[in-house]
Amino acid sequence: MSTSPTSSSPAANGPDVFVVGSDLIKFGRFPDQTPAKLGAAAAKLALEDAGIGIKDIQAVYSGNVMNAAAMVGQQILRELGQTGVPVSNTSNACATGATAMREAYTAIKAGMYDLVLVVGSEQLGKAGLMMAGGRGGISPEGVLGSGLMPAVFGEAGQEHAAKYGTTLEQFAKVSVKNHEHSMKNPKAMYQKETPLEMVLDSEMIAYPNTKLMCSVNVDGAAAVVLASPKKARELGMKRAVKVSASILTSDRYSERNLTMPDFNTCTRDAAKLAYETAGIGPEDLDLIELHDCFAVAEILHYENLGLCKEGDAGRMIDEKETYWGGKIPVNLSGGLLSKGHPTGATGVANIVEIVQHLRGEAGARQCEGAKVGLTHVLGIAFGSACAVHVLEKVNA
């Protein structure tokens, strides 16, 4: 028997952790910038949002994938002030930003610091198709099937289709929704209405994923400032948001996961732990930002996160339950499909989006009366990582 990580729930010990500052830069393509300059721009906005300066920050947690060995966190301090504080550089595939967030959360929980900075950054440009790398010999791509992400997620989507008869149209509707949402997000890569015919008629990349059902590779950065209760009270609780769960899981053994990445199990494990830790259930959530790296993935995660019964995700999108104003809005930011997916920044940007709604500062796309939100990201390389955060309005 493989051990379930859900058998040992993380202790609810330690002080509460609050987001006291958060922001992101507009996602896009910035070939003249560096990852650190993008990260620093987001960090500056988050510090200003918190009403503090870099001298107040006791530790920095930086997430970046493509420049994992370049000490992007230290470079960010060169932009904002070299204060000499500890800097941790994190890389965990597409879960990188959320992993940095969790490291920072852990440090506050441990009582080590009162005020820390989390920055996720990435400069992808038009990176094209993503795949896990090969080793020696000849490339197995196109001979031994496909290691390209559109196919890997296409296969995962087909599992849902095989089990429940989910249609190409239902998968495609996710992209229609997320593009519609980002029309109201000025910081998204795209603000463009994208009807179902356009999604279905766009180039087929790997069935059932058409081009518009694949996330957009963009440059971007996002940052949050985390505080202990003491520091949060000092800075003012009015706009503070409580982090009521910060969970990270990896891929435990499952039947096919060495051939076919199993991101369902690690998501289910993380969701279960997150709900337990926060003392809530999926029915208590007002909004969700989840990892729609491909349109098919969002369908699977409705069930993985317990938003509906098994096999019911197709109906959920058909009945627009996850639209703005629906039963449980998902990816009001536009998601990875339309806001864009700057890998290292994504897990922090999701936090920023939820914080904006809980503060009532999300503008035209505001989720009215939002009190509790959840973020979910997923990383895949030669293994999987899933991070789930639950955020709560304080002055609710």
Partner 1 sequence: MTEQATLKPIKPFLKIPVGSEPYIEGLRCESCQAVFFETHLACPKCTTHDSLKPSKLSNTGKLHVYSIVHRSMPGIPVPYVSAIVDLDGGGTLKSNLINVDPDPKKIEFGMAVEIVFNVAAQKDKEGNEYLAYQFQPRS
Which residues of the shown chain bind partner 1 in the complex (CB under 8 A)? 1-3, 129, 131, 137-146, 148, 150-152, 154-156, 158-159, 161-162, 203-209, 253, 255-256, 258-260
Q: Are 121 and 64 in contact (CB under 8 A)?
A: yes
Strand, helix or coil at 136?
A: coil
Query: What one-character DSSP code corresponds to residue 105?
Result: H
Instruction: Find the distance separating the first CA and the last CA of the chain, reported in whole Å.
Output: 43
* Nearer CB in complex with partner 1: 154/335: 154
* Nearer CB in complex with partner 1: 209/244: 209
Give the Cα separation of 219 and 53 in Å (integer).
25
From the candidates 179, 181, 301, 341, which is the catalytic residue?
341
CB of 6 to partner 1, least distance (A): 17
Interacting residues of 384 by C-beta distance below 8 A, sequence separation 6+: 250, 251, 257, 261, 262, 263, 266, 378
* Nearer CB in complex with partner 1: 231/341: 341
* Nearer CB in complex with partner 1: 110/258: 258
CB of 255 to partner 1, least distance (A): 7
Q: Residue 207, Cβ neighbours under 10 Å: how many?
A: 13
Handedness of CA 53, 55, 61, 64 (dihedral sign): positive
Q: Are 194 and 179 in contact (CB under 8 A)?
A: yes
Give the Cα separation of 291 and 289 in Å (integer).
7
Beta bridge partners of 18: 227, 242
Take residue 353 and report the two structure tokens written for it. Answer: 């989006």
CB of 301 to partner 1, least distance (A): 18
Q: What angle do CA 188, 150, 248 make, to 5 degrees?
A: 70
From the candidates 94, 308, 367, 386, which is the catalytic residue?
94
Q: Are 208 and 359 in contact (CB under 8 A)?
A: no
CB of 257 to partner 1, least distance (A): 9
**Cα atoms in the Cβ-side hemisphere of radius 13 Å centred on 256:** 10
If you write DSSP's letter for every residue of 287-336 in order, what string do you get?
Answer: EEE---SBHHHHHHHHHHTTSS-TT-HHHHHHTTTTSTTSSS-B-TT-HH
Classify 34 in phi/psi space as left (phi over 0), alpha (psi -120 to 50) or beta.
Answer: beta
* Nearer CB in complex with partner 1: 25/148: 148
* Nearer CB in complex with partner 1: 154/334: 154
* Nearer CB in complex with partner 1: 296/316: 296
Q: Are 186 and 308 in contact (CB under 8 A)?
A: no
Query: What one-character DSSP code corresponds to residue 38?
Result: H
CB of 35 to partner 1, least distance (A): 25
The question of whether 386 is a catalytic residue gets the answer no
CB of 154 to partner 1, least distance (A): 3
Q: Residue 183, Cβ neighbours under 10 Å: how many?
A: 17
Token pair 């914080």 in the structure block, residue: 355
CB of 134 to partner 1, least distance (A): 11
The question of whether 341 is a catalytic residue gets the answer yes
CB of 158 to partner 1, least distance (A): 4
* Nearer CB in complex with partner 1: 118/156: 156
Handedness of CA 31, 34, 38, 41 (dihedral sign): negative
Take residue 366 and report the two structure tokens written for it. Answer: 């505001």
Catalytic residues: 94, 341
